[in-house]
Structure 1
Amino acid sequence: MTSIGEVPAARLGDAATVLDEDQITAFVRERLAAHPFDGRSVCVLVPDATRTCPLPLLLRAVHGALHGRVSRLTVLVALGTHAAMGEEALARHLGYVPGRLEETYPGTTVVNHEWWKAETFADLGTIPAARIAELSEGRMSLDVPVLLNRAVVEHDVALVLGPVLPHEVVGISGGNKYFFPGVGGQKIIDVSHWLGALITSAEIIGTTGITPVRALIDDGAALIPSEKLALCVVTAEAEAGLHSVSFGETRASWASAAQVCAATHVTYLDAPVRRVLSIVPPMYDEIWTAAKGFYKLEPVVADGGEVILYAPHVKELSSTHREIYEIGYHCRDYFLAQWDRFAHIHWGVLAHSTHLRGAGSYDPETGEERLRVQVTLASAIPEDICRSANLGYLDPASIDVAAFAADPDTLVVPRAGEMLFRLR
């Protein structure tokens, strides 16, 4: 049991267990059966396909517990600012036959978070500048309007359903993060991501406590009028199962799962490595998400070392955030020293840029940027685009994974992006 606030979260499993499907289904159904959902409308927030978890299993359990009891059931895909999922992708992701949602999940509506449409959002109020200054320890001071997908506020209950993982902006993902940035408006996304960038990914990633960014997200969530619940899971990747499932209020459920995540999703090395071959899985189809293969490895790379993102399937830096082609990838201090030049760019894009480029310094007098680690793309993105974005390039056809694995100075990480690596 873990508690933030008044009501503790219930949890099945821990870092040492791998739950089977029957255990998972029984826990979900028992917990939801005991909660007062009857006659109420429920919005279930789920991740998109850039997160690993047995979502069809979980959603079937949730639907089985709620169908016939609730007045309305909506599944909202928390895209953040990722690309929308089409019907084929949604069916594969949620576990139904394309075009036949009603057969598997009767009485259920599935919608993407249409973040590109102004009418998607409801205005919940403002987090004042004084509070932002407090949370950011003086790094920022501005009023932040809190916009949220109106589907959440138009339901009586918001139920978050998804995994908890080490995260470069918030520390440990999940919980209220499904609201912001999951289905939130641009300003709170920009402010939260840039605050994380100012603190730096290397410092914040994997933190189980309430980071400044987590506190900001929790403040935004406190303005949501719906009841907020979460089923937070921790994946057992090798067995394609779950270590644990936590249920309760979003903050308590997240805190319970975060403790398990910290014990299962961090690999410790005794010494830094000179080079990493980070093998990017197909679920990351742009550098915007494939960059997780760098974030999670940066802490174990020696000064002057290199991370190679091996992603032969990736053809774009980002399909939805074209500004990244204009500004490229740079360290935090590069932007801070030239803030007047870059302040108009969405801060979330600036944050992504700094997260992939990692630690470094910038001398405004000489224009010299010194970066701690070299980042090289071995992808389908042409060399000229990589170079213009301030990244290295390797022909993916030249990559011999076995040869890299045989090199004592190289760490090969299969399926990079969800496991965090740290030095002891």
Structure 2
Amino acid sequence: MDTATRTPAAFIGSSDRSLTPEETTAFITEQLAGQPLDGRDVLVIVPDSTRSCPLQLLMDTVYGALVGRVRRLRVLIALGTHPKMSQQQLEAMFEVGPDGLARRYPEASIDNHAWWEPSELISIGTIPAARVEDLSEGRLSLDVEVTVNRAVVEADDVLILGPVFPHEVVGFSGGTKYLFPGVSGQQMIDASHWLGALISSAAIIGTPGITPVRAMINEAASMIPGNLLACCVVVRSGSHDLYGVAVGDVHSAWEKASALSANTHIRYLERPVKRVISIIPDRYDEIWVAAKGMYKVEPIVADGGEVIIFAPHLSVVSHTHGAAIAEIGYHCRDYFAKQWDQFKDHPWGVLAHSTHLRGAGTWSPQDGERDRVTVTLATAISEQETRSLALDYRSPGSIDITAAREDPDTLVVDNAGEILFRLGEPPTFG
């Protein structure tokens, strides 16, 4: 993208209070009015239902600000490799009734990112191995082909619309991550996620600024021919309340939102706990995403402690990757990295997910695998399947949540998956 076309992000909000819907609408409308979008083909990229987000409010505002100005308005759901959302699921996510999307947004098309359809993807270049080695700080060296949903390339302007949270692969989500992996092809997903796994979730999650994974994603985004804008929001987890909104150039909008996220989405404890029970909300319907209940609490669990993923509603490991996960199970990073010839041909994104849920540990030919904490599933997945994945099992009915809240050695985390827990004193972010 031509840097001359970048508009520095404007920002509203703080960690002290939530914005009113009227404040949010007025601010976004004003900022988009100042963007040169008249007569343009605009693509809006939004999250799927696995994120807390007042999507109807945001989409209503963007739609009202753009319809009548732009030549064409398209909306693309950033699935990554998550399952296709049905019409009913889309209507629920946008909080409209049956056939409500067409009535509410008649001038916009709303589509899933069809990552499973090769014809929907287009190559926009390659990040050469030497550059990958530089961006990854020596951790990876391979040519990475950059493919993306063709709607991104066809648009004059891409507006990324969605929340920013601490993230286990990239540091903080949002911004260009909605492109890669949000609407990208498989190689970028695999390379970026395995790079995050090599760094480790515990080391990268909630890290401010440009992490090696963010640098690789930004490199890929620089190949997109259109103008990249963002409306990045900071959401009160589990609600539709917004702490802040940043609108403008995708990079500066993300920077402002991630700084606020660092001040609102991280909780600090003075000392580690022996056990965490992560109560998984209904927005996570598979271990693939419910594993955030492990990522976000791993830093506060004592050596030899336990994380219990409490999700009685959950009966699926992964709608998309279940067979691949069943083949390898859940293991620490060194289990794969030190036996790379055995695992290098497995999908790297699946390997990364495995290490993120399993957490820190070691592996050697002499001692085998030694994991820092025990990960226990208390779900509707059977004991046999759970143990076959190298995880511990508890029946959800055997866990007394009320008693656990009174146990000084146990932390019960409600609505787990978006708030990051760390040890120590909170730093001051800019």
Q: TM-score scaled by structure 1?
A: 0.97
Superposition map of 1:76-225 within 5 A: 76-225=76-225
Deviations 1:316-371 (A, max 9, x none): 111101200110000000001211111111100000000000000001234x1000
CA pair 273-258 structure 1, distance change in 2 beyond 3 A: same
CA distance in 1, matches of 2:239, 2:227: 34
Is the Cα contact below 8 Å between 2:6 and 2:249 reproduced in 1? no
Aligned to 2:277: 277
Letter in 2 for 1:207: T
- Secondary structure of the residue aligned to 1:11 is strand
How far does residue 98 in structure 1 lie from its aligned partner after superposition? 2.4
**1:43 aligned onto 2:49:** no
Aligned to 1:389: 389
How far does residue 400 in structure 1 lie from its aligned partner after superposition? 1.3
CA distance in 1, matches of 2:305, 2:257: 33
Aligned to 1:360: 361
Letter in 2 for 1:93: M
Aligned to 1:243: 243
- Secondary structure of the residue aligned to 1:330 is coil
- Secondary structure of the residue aligned to 2:58 is helix
Deviations 1:96-127 (A, max 9, x none): 32224221012110100011111111110000
Is the Cα contact below 8 Å between 2:229 and 2:248 reproduced in 1? yes
- Secondary structure of the residue aligned to 1:237 is coil
CA distance in 2, matches of 1:22, 1:212: 38
| Identical-residue share of aligned pairs (%) | 57
How far does residue 6 in structure 1 lie from its aligned partner after superposition? 6.5
Letter in 1 for 2:251: R
Aligned to 1:346: 347
Deviations 1:212-239 (A, max 9, x none): 0000000000000111000000012376
**1:370 aligned onto 2:370:** yes
CA distance in 1, matches of 2:329, 2:237: 33
Letter in 2 for 1:268: Y
**1:267 aligned onto 2:267:** yes
How far does residue 16 in structure 1 lie from its aligned partner after superposition? 1.6
- Secondary structure of the residue aligned to 1:319 is coil
Is the Cα contact below 8 Å between 2:122 and 2:148 reproduced in 1? yes
Aligned to 2:337: 336
Letter in 2 for 1:128: P
CA distance in 2, matches of 1:17, 1:264: 11
Aligned to 1:258: 258
CA distance in 2, matches of 1:408, 1:16: 29
Letter in 2 for 1:196: G
Q: Which sits farther off after the overlay, 317-326 or 262-271?
A: 317-326
- Secondary structure of the residue aligned to 2:140 is coil
Is the Cα contact below 8 Å between 1:332 and 1:354 reproduced in 2? yes
CA pair 155-239 structure 1, distance change in 2 beyond 3 A: closer
- Secondary structure of the residue aligned to 2:275 is strand
CA distance in 2, matches of 1:382, 1:62: 44
CA distance in 2, matches of 1:350, 1:183: 20
CA distance in 1, matches of 2:95, 2:64: 14
CA distance in 1, matches of 2:60, 2:153: 24
Superposition map of 1:283-298 within 5 A: 283-298=283-298
Letter in 2 for 1:122: I
CA distance in 2, matches of 1:251, 1:298: 29
Is the Cα contact below 8 Å between 1:337 and 1:364 reproduced in 2? no
CA pair 210-151 structure 1, distance change in 2 beyond 3 A: same
Aligned to 1:406: 406
CA distance in 2, matches of 1:237, 1:373: 26
Is the Cα contact below 8 Å between 2:363 and 2:369 reproduced in 1? yes
- Secondary structure of the residue aligned to 1:314 is coil
Give 5+ residue unaligned stretches, structure 2: 425-430
Is the Cα contact below 8 Å between 1:330 and 1:390 reproduced in 2? yes
Letter in 2 for 1:43: L
Q: Which sits farther off after the overlay, 310-319 or 95-104?
A: 95-104
Superposition map of 1:316-327 within 5 A: 316-321=316-321, 322-327=323-328
CA distance in 2, matches of 1:166, 1:239: 16
CA distance in 2, matches of 1:222, 1:309: 38
CA pair 142-325 structure 1, distance change in 2 beyond 3 A: same
Letter in 2 for 1:269: L
CA distance in 1, matches of 2:229, 2:25: 17
How far does residue 7 in structure 1 lie from its aligned partner after superposition? 4.3
**1:227 aligned onto 2:224:** no
CA distance in 2, matches of 1:16, 1:101: 34
Q: TM-score scaled by structure 2?
A: 0.96
CA distance in 2, matches of 1:70, 1:353: 43
Deviations 1:53-89 (A, max 9, x none): 1000000000000011111111100000000100011
Q: Which sits farther off after the overlay, 135-144 or 176-185?
A: 135-144
RMSD: 1.3
Is the Cα contact below 8 Å between 1:17 and 1:244 reproduced in 2? no
Moved over 3 A (4+): 237-240
CA distance in 2, matches of 1:107, 1:209: 37
Letter in 1 for 2:340: W
CA distance in 2, matches of 1:228, 1:8: 12
